[in-house]
A and B are shown apart, each in its own frame.
Chain A
Amino acid sequence: MTATVTSPKTPKPSKSPSFEDRRVVDAERRAKRKRAYERPGVLTYALLIAFFVGSAFPLWWSFVIGSRQSSDTNLVPPAVLPGPNFLSNAMKALETVPFLQGLLNSILISGAITVSVVFFSTLAGYAFAKLRFRGRTGLLLAVIATMAIPTQLGIIPLFMLMAEWQWIGTLQAVIVPGMVTAFGVFFMRQYLVDVIPDELIEAARMDGASMWGTFRHVALPAARPAMAVLSLFTFMAAWTDYLWPSLALSPRNPSVQTALAALSASGGQNPDNAMVLAGAVLSVIPLLILFFVAGKQLVAGIMQGAVKG
């Protein structure tokens, strides 16, 4: 940032910048800067609108068909306005598969996983960021290395373990394997390492606070924004997961995703498309609400993560 830009003198108008006169160059720069930040043209907005329509159309269209009847998928040009049948289609979906049970289960599963991941990640992330202990660097490297491990490739032993414990078909079969993530620990560590001054922790210790007291009263309040972001992403990941829940849960006690998959398969050769799409809309609504409430934080979380990672 050049502080000289603020020089208030009016420059003499000149087309070729002379590098001898400081003020002329500043004025040139100011003009260029204005040009660089100029409002983008119509083309930019046209392209953005086109991309927005592409992003929103599939969701909107599934609501449109979900509120009409299956034969309306055949309309040319495609139907773009919703009809009156959404509730009756949704009711049919609820009768076909235990959708409400799935909704409740997914809330319980995703909620439990989120609480667990955020708590253990904050605890370990704080220790890695701010406490000194033997083997800290090595253990942190282990966390980073395990971040890249595709844990979904371990489903066979995991399935054997859950069968051995007779957990197949229960919610804990999905919750327990999601209780910690290496990414969460790394994420919290990266945030806390900058956010808490070392002096603050030293001061708490000098004042006689226990380690746990320091964590609770110094680290936790400071960690709150990052905990919120980690909660959002963990909840979404748990909510949208399919492979492991499809193995670990039973059709009678499903998650939202396995219920929707069952709904999609319910019609055999002649599926009731309006009902299936109404079900798809139902499955999206909870995260849609989350998106309208916390979409800004999601965007910020992704963009901050990008700069750090």
Chain B
Amino acid sequence: MTTSTLGRPARSELTFRQKVSRFDYTFSPFLYVAPFFVLFALIGVFPIAYTLNVSLYDWHLLEGQGEFVGLANYVSILSDPFFWNAFGNTVSIFLLSAIPQLVIATGIAALLDQAIRGKTFWRMSILLPYIVAPVAVTVIFLQIFNQYHGPIAGLLELFGLEPIRWAFDVLPSHIAIATMVNWRWTGYNALLLLAAMQAVPRDVYESAALDGANKIRRFWSITIPMIRPTLIFVVITATIGGLQIFTEPRLFDGRTYGGSDRQFQTIVLYLYELAFPRRDFGQASATAWILFLIIVLVGLISYAITRAIRTADVKPARISAASIGAQQGES
């Protein structure tokens, strides 16, 4: 298709139709992107920005805007031990979910990155938990992680062990909640990592195999470095998601806001308790902005780390590519 040789009509002699066409050509793109920006400004940007405004006032759910208090809400949140409790719980649950999840997802992806029988079945099967909503996941796992009955309690009893107080003790409750997150997301992340593994050129493995590297060596020296961008992406999304965990701890004990002694109250749950049962919109908004800043900070740090790694990678990557090329040239 070589239409580029056709010239456009000269500006001076435009007919009405050409003028309409020119107008159409210039302004249509703006019309196409406008609905997104207008709607997003209303439902995405405005709420976040207005949260900042609310956070600077005494602001009650029913009574509305009160006195301007400056940063007082921030000061009282940051000096509230319950905030730091929620912060610690969030980090703990995040670590208990992110680390096993990443390890298992990488392992499953490596298993699937072979000439496997029934690969569509396996790929679909690991994604099954992803379609179960967090509410249903929590409702189901509440029965599994139950102090008195359910499969785990039965198993413990069988071995004559003490029942575990899943909903009352700090670490068991964190493990139970992290398990719910892991159950839902491990297969999803395994597929992301599998896609990255399949993008690794097979020649690299062949050359390594020719040089006598065994499977495990190939995995550590080729697969892991080559999928590092995806690994980092998974870590970043897991972090941003993990900082905002709400549904699982909210419903793990529906009568409380994260446990009778706030054993598993996360930051968003802390925000929720301030905003709705306590009706303190000012302090809740300050919490939202503190969390927002934490997320931005985490994003920037991960970006910096990614960049640093990429820069450090440039040399080895070139050398290995060159050596592969050289080997192919040699043969």
| A residues in contact (CB < 8 Å) with B | 1-2, 17, 19, 22, 25-26, 28-29, 32-33, 35-40, 44-45, 47-48, 51-52, 54-56, 58-59, 61-62, 65, 73-78, 120-121, 123-124, 126-128, 131-133, 136, 139, 142-143, 146, 148-161, 176-180, 182, 185, 197, 199-200, 202-203, 205-206, 210-212, 215, 236, 239-240, 242-243, 247, 256-257, 260-261, 263-265, 273, 276-277, 279-280, 283-284, 287-288, 290-291, 295-296, 298-299, 302-307, 309
> 7 new A-B pairs (CB below 8 Å) besides A153-B48, A261-B254?
A36-B202, A39-B115, A143-B36, A156-B284, A158-B43, A180-B40, A299-B127
* A-chain residues with CB within 8 Å of residue B93 when the two chains form the complex: none
Q: Which of B136, B141, B183 contacts A260 (CB 8 A)?
A: B136
User: CB of B25 within 8 A of chain A?
Assistant: yes
Q: Which of B35, B107, B123, B251 contacts A124 (CB 8 A)?
A: B35
* B-chain residues with CB within 8 Å of residue A203 when the two chains form the complex: 1, 3
* A-chain residues with CB within 8 Å of residue B285 when the two chains form the complex: 156
B231 to chain A, nearest CB (A): 11
Q: Is the CB of A299 within 8 A of B143?
A: no
B108 to chain A, nearest CB (A): 6
B281: nearest residue on chain A (CB-CB)? A156
* A-chain residues with CB within 8 Å of residue B36 when the two chains form the complex: 120-121, 123-124, 143, 180, 182, 185
Q: Is the CB of A306 within 8 A of B191?
A: yes
Q: Is the CB of A133 within 8 A of B30?
A: yes
Question: Given A133-B29, A151-B44, A243-B246, do A295 and B1 touch, yes or no (CB 8 Å)?
Answer: no
Question: Given A36-B205, A47-B111, A77-B154, do A62 and B240 touch, yes or no (CB 8 Å)?
Answer: no
Which of A47, A48, A236 is most buried by chain B, counting CB atoms within 10 A of its CB?
A: A48
CA distance A141 to B42 in the complex (A): 19
Interface of B is mostly: helix
Q: Is the CB of A55 within 8 A of B126?
A: yes
- For chain B, residues 118 to 150, give those with C-beta under 8 angstroms from any C-beta of chain A: 120, 122-144, 146, 149-150
User: CB of B86 within 8 A of chain A?
Assistant: no
A17 to chain B, nearest CB (A): 7
Which of A120, A179, A185, A296 is most buried by chain B, counting CB atoms within 10 A of its CB?
A: A120
Interface of A is mostly: helix
* B-chain residues with CB within 8 Å of residue A36 when the two chains form the complex: 202, 205-206, 209
User: CB of B328 within 8 A of chain A?
Assistant: yes
* A-chain residues with CB within 8 Å of residue B299 when the two chains form the complex: 148
Q: Which of A152, A199, A260 contacts B1 (CB 8 A)?
A: A199
CA distance A269 to B246 in the complex (A): 23
A/B interface sample: 22 pairs, CB < 8 A = A29-B210, A39-B114, A48-B112, A126-B32, A151-B43, A151-B47, A153-B51, A156-B285, A159-B275, A160-B54, A179-B43, A205-B25, A210-B21, A211-B29, A239-B133, A256-B133, A260-B135, A280-B136, A280-B140, A288-B131, A296-B124, A302-B127
Question: Given A73-B146, A124-B33, A288-B131, do A155 and B47 touch, yes or no (CB 8 Å)?
Answer: yes
Q: Is the CB of B135 within 8 A of A242?
A: yes
CA distance A143 to B244 in the complex (A): 21
Q: Which of B29, B136, B157, B158 contacts A127 (CB 8 A)?
A: B29
